[in-house]
Homo-oligomer: A and B are copies of this chain.
């Protein structure tokens, strides 16, 4: 036994693991045959190994082959458009395997010799066939894949067949989860046989990050996208701007960020956006831009009068804020000023260019405060001059006119080709209003009310396509302290991963309408509004709860969280290995003693 200043014990662990009844059971290692390490047990025990999200079907072997990362080769048959993407995705896959090593740091690791010849000679041959040339994700993209692992003697063959690149890269994520680091041999191991047929339950599987309340560096966005990729989420919904700040540095409108960014270091340059679009794409993810209007604008819009365009936004930072908006600082577009459409036209044009190709555009459209407009002389004069009146319906009407105008501007910015729009539930979607104001062939509605809201039934019955983000389960910012005043924040309590996991859009629809409305529910999204979060703590808010969301949206299991617990605890460890500071959900003792931390 070695004492003192060493990095670790120099003796094997007194404990080993045995797979019993689909659980890894810790036992004292007194030379018993069949005890393995924890990683090896997790790889071969459990009905779905430690795969996350759980595939639609998987048959998995119970033995492993030991090998070295350098032994992995790639053969592929794919359309020429797709090959460079696949090669890049494969490179990411290899790098992710290196991250399993405890001494991994900064993209390198040294695997220390010598190994047993049976280990160093074992080959892992990955053969990928991609059928279609698509290189951009749409709601119609076939993300399915088949993955077969076979081993004979010293060769493990992995055969991946996928209609699209997106399915193939999902297969590589699954493959990475069939491989683990062997804690005592210092090599990798792979499950010797597997047959996985897999496809997502929902085409839209999103995560929203708000970069206006607080700024996040490009590195933090990349890390978030990495973690999404590890969970087969496919939409990074970027709520870029809001009334608080305008960090997007548009080439055509530099004043927006100049006046609106928190500082000269807290901005996204055009090339950052272009970079992130590609960064996300090779990880199977669309970067969905949101430009929230006509409310949720403010800081960044203060330059209009100086440039001869009049007041573009009203109620900007107006006090007392409670009268003019839902949270400080206030601000709404000035519908009385036609110059807003000139500016918006530039914003949409440049955004659509930076995010190209866009297959969806998020208009925001939530939380308009009528009192802001109704106490702004320029607005009320205009409303009166146009004979619109000043009642709520008059304002809703003008808001919907605004929405139609910006929809046309986006279409125009997109070369005249219509882009399906997404809107938050709002006053315009309330009972009896939605079909008056919003065309169900043009808009997808993102639901952020509770999962019990009758509004959901109305939207489905009126044939709106919807995305679920009901705040009672899928707002990840809930449950902290208040940031105005004291007590807890508005949407407390905190939603644990169990609640995130069990929040089923189909079950909600069924409870409210007696039908799952599977054809209308495109999927769901967890939202992280960032009043109280910046990049210092973002990982722990998003993960592993984002993984719970991902399994709901990919697998849509008929079972609840309890059946997923062991896999999630192990998957969380994998996310940490990948450089994501995911929160622990249980003591490590529970990870090492499956099934013993129960209520």
Residues on A close to B: CB < 8 A?
1, 3-11, 13-14, 28, 102, 183, 213-215, 244-245, 249, 251, 254, 257-259, 261-267, 269-272, 299, 302, 317, 319, 321, 328-329, 479-488, 492-499, 530-534, 536-537, 539-540, 561, 576, 581-590, 592-593, 596-599
CB of A561 within 8 A of CB of B270, answer no
CA distance A183 to B583 in the complex (A): 34
Cβ distance A262 to chain B, nearest Cβ, rounded Å: 5
Which residues of the partner chain B approach A251 to less than 8 Å between Cβ atoms?
A: 3-4
> 23 interchain pairs (CB within 8 A)?
A1-B254, A4-B251, A4-B271, A9-B249, A9-B261, A13-B263, A213-B589, A214-B587, A244-B588, A244-B589, A266-B588, A317-B596, A319-B596, A481-B495, A481-B497, A482-B599, A486-B599, A492-B494, A493-B493, A530-B587, A534-B588, A536-B539, A537-B540
Would B583 and A532 count as touching, CB distance under 8 A? Answer: yes
C-alpha gap A339/B580 in the complex (Å): 45
Report the separation of the CA atoms of residues A583 and B329 in the bound assembly, to the nearest whole angstrom.
21
Which of B214, B329, B481, B597 lies in contact with A328, CB distance below 8 A?
A: B597
- Chain B residues near A498: list those with CB within 8 A: 481-482, 486-487
A263 contacts which chain B residues (CB < 8 A)? 8, 13, 183
Q: Determine which residue in A215, A536, A539, A590 has the highest number of CB atoms from chain B within 10 A of its CB, and name it.
A: A536
**8 Å CB contact of A593 from B270, B317, B487, B583:** B317
Interface centre among A28, A258, A583 (most CB of B within 10 A): A583
Known: A1-B254, A3-B254. A537 touches B534 (CB 8 A): no
Nearest CB on B from A292, distance (A): 15
Would A584 and B540 count as touching, CB distance under 8 A? no
A261 to B7, CA, bound (A): 13
Determine how many copies of this chain the complex contains.
2
B-side contacts of A272, CB under 8 Å: 5
- Bound together, the chains give a CA A486 to CA B497 distance in angstroms of 9
- In the complex, which residues of chain B have a beta carbon less than 8 angstroms from the beta carbon of A590? 328, 483
Output the least CB separation between A247 and chain B (Å). 10
By a CB distance below 8 angstroms, the chain B residues around A534 are 584, 588
Chain B residues within an 8 Å CB radius of A261: 9
Per a CB cutoff under 8 Å, which of B11, B271, B321, B497 touches A596? Answer: B321
Task: Give CA–CA (A486, B501) in the complex, Å.
Answer: 11
B599 and A214 within 8 A (CB): no
Contact B4 A483 (CB under 8 A): no
Distance in angstroms from A28 CB to nearest chain B CB is 8
Report yes or no: A213 in contact with B258, Cβ–Cβ below 8 A.
no
- Determine how close the nearest CB of chain B comes to the CB of A92; give it in whole angstroms: 22
Bound-state Cα–Cα, A498 to B481, Å: 8
**Given that A258-B11, A485-B599 are contacting pairs, would A537 and B264 also be in contact in the complex, using a CB cutoff of 8 Å?**
no
> Which of B102, B329, B532 is close to A584, meaning CB atoms less than 8 Å apart?
B532
Q: Are A531 and B586 touching (Cβ within 8 A)?
A: yes
Given A5-B271, A482-B599: A532 touches B586 (CB 8 Å cut-off): yes
- Closest Cβ of chain B: how far from A355's Cβ, in Å? 17
Is the beta-carbon distance between B585 and A532 smaller than 8 angstroms?
A: yes
Name the residue in A6, A328, A593 with the highest tally of chain B Cβ atoms < 10 Å from its Cβ. Answer: A328
Q: Which residues of B contact A264 (CB under 8 A)?
A: 8-11, 13
Which residues in B have their C-beta under 8 angstroms from that of A183? 263
Is the Cβ of A299 less than 8 Å from the Cβ of B589?
A: yes
B483 to A480, Cβ gap below 8 A?
Answer: no
What is the distance, in angstroms, from A145's C-beta to the closest C-beta of chain B?
A: 31
Chain B, Cβ-Cβ closest to A320: B598
Measured CA separation A261–B6 after assembly (Å): 15
Q: Given A329-B593, A536-B539: A588 and B214 within 8 A (CB)?
A: yes
Contact B531 A3 (CB under 8 A): no
CA distance in complex: A263, B533 (Å): 33
Known: A251-B3, A581-B536. A494 touches B482 (CB 8 A): no
Closest to A598 in B: B484
List residues of chain B with CB within 8 A of the CB of A587: 213-214, 244, 483, 530-531
Give every chain B residue within 8 A of A267 (Cβ-Cβ). Answer: 8-9
Chain B nearest CB: distance from A485 CB in Å?
3
**Across the interface, do A14 and B596 meet the contact criterion of CB distance under 8 Å?**
no
Provide the residues of chain B in CB contact with A14, threshold 8 Å: 258-259
With contacts A488-B493, A537-B581, A540-B536 taken as known, whether A9 is within 8 angstroms of B596 at the C-beta atoms is no
Bound: A536/B538 CA distance, A = 11
Q: How far is the CA of A481 from the CA of B572 in the complex (A)?
A: 15
Min CB gap A501→B, angstroms = 9
In the docked arrangement, what's the CA distance between A530 and B584, Å?
9
